[in-house]
């Protein structure tokens, strides 16, 4: 029995499911959750979508986004037969939701990150897929059940965003073929693009223009980094994806190997987001600090204040660049 068949068998066997993904979910993670929930409900299953926080306002346009509940309001969720964890390299990345999973819960791990540590009872991990949405599309097609418009919409958003609107090297002929099938449902791809990338509130855009010039260029122009303190974050609305917008802007710079964003997550905790526009493997870099992701897009968290975390992390980058 193939892994695909094992997953489909488990979906048929179990009656109730907890569906979750990593903290601070991106469109691929959230769209994958909603697509999986739609599929399971069509099978007559009981489904709870629970993340550490409810769906972010900027992604409220996704069909059925209100079904995503925050952990704080769902501690009393009855233990489900199985948990489906999507777009997550490690179980710890679902945050507090992990407390809802008992030792007896059957875990299905569906992902596309090369750094996935295979934490599930079944692990459907496809590193060559552009996105978790692409993995799910294949799974649903294997099942033989027809897709719905809402499900196709959510899968398309995941595919589009995780490929950088089909600009990144994870975009393949298969990616475009899948999108062509999804687009037959007649939703507006122009409208999706506008809602994801072109709906920045005036106040956020004004603050962004002040912030974006405050980046540091290091190691002869090979590394660019930005620091986001809690005071800076407080200037922006929750519906604005600040880090993604910074990366979109900075990645236009020529000759840079690594782009780094340091975010103050606490007095002794710093979140680090990474992007690469060259052959530099940021997934390997992130794994040195118990993080992970893709070769060109990864992240980690360091239990140090931002100043100390920056010093340690940039020092590691310097050693890798010299090597």
Range of the domain at 47: 3-196
If asked whether residues 155 and 7 sit together in one domain, one would say: yes
CATH of the domain at 139: 3.90.1640.10
pTM above 0.85? yes
pLDDT tens for 210-258 read: 999 999 999 999 999 999 999 999 999 988 999 999 999 999 899 999 9
Which residue, 196, 230, 251, sits at the end of a domain?
196
Q: Same domain, yes or no, for 31 and 155?
A: yes
Please give the Cα distance from 212 to 256 (Å, whole number). Answer: 16
pLDDT of residue 110: 98
User: What pLDDT, on the 0 to 100 scale, is given for residue 230?
Assistant: 96
Domain count along the chain: 2
Last residue of a domain, one of 196, 221, 242: 196
229 and 190, same structural domain?
Answer: no
Question: What pLDDT does residue 77 have?
Answer: 67
Q: Mean pLDDT in each 10-residue stretch from start to end of the chain (323 residues)?
A: 96 96 95 98 96 93 95 70 95 93 94 95 97 98 96 98 92 97 97 91 94 94 96 93 93 93 95 90 93 90 96 96 87
């Amino acid at each position: 029995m193939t892994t695909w068949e094992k997953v489909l068998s488990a979906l048929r066997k179990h009656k109730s499911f907890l569906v979750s993904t990593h903290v601070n979910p991106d469109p691929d993670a959230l769209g994958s959750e909603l697509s999986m929930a739609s599929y399971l409900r069509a099978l007559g299953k009981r489904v709870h979508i629970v993340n550490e926080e409810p769906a972010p306002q900027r992604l409220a346009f996704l069909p059925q986004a209100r079904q995503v509940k925050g952990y704080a309001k769902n501690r009393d969720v009855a233990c489900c037969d199985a948990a489906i964890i999507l777009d997550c390299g490690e179980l710890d990345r679902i945050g507090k939701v992990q407390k809802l999973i008992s030792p007896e819960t059957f875990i299905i791990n569906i992902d596309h990150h090369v750094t996935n540590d295979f934490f599930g009872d079944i692990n459907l991990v496809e590193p060559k897929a552009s996105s978790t949405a692409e993995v799910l599309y294949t799974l649903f097609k294997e099942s033989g059940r027809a897709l719905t418009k809402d499900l196709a919409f959510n899968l398309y958003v995941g595919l589009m965003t995780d490929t950088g609107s089909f600009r990144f090297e994870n975009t393949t002929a298969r990616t475009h073929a899948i999108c062509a099938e999804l687009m037959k449902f007649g939703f507006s791809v122009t409208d999706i693009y506008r809602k994801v990338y072109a709906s920045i509130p005036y106040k956020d855009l004004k603050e962004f223009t002040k912030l974006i010039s405050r980046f540091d260029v290091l190691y002869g122009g090979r590394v660019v980094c930005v620091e986001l303190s809690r005071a800076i974050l407080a200037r922006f609305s929750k519906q604005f994806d600040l880090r993604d917008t910074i990366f979109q802007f900075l990645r236009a710079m020529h000759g840079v190997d690594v782009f780094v964003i340091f975010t103050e997550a606490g007095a002794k905790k710093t979140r680090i987001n990474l992007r690469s526009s060259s052959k530099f493997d940021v997934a390997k870099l992130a794994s040195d600090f118990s993080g992970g992701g893709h070769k060109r897009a990864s992240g980690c968290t360091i239990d140090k204040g931002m100043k100390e975390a920056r010093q340690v992390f940039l020092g590691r980058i310097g050693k890798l660049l010299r090597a």
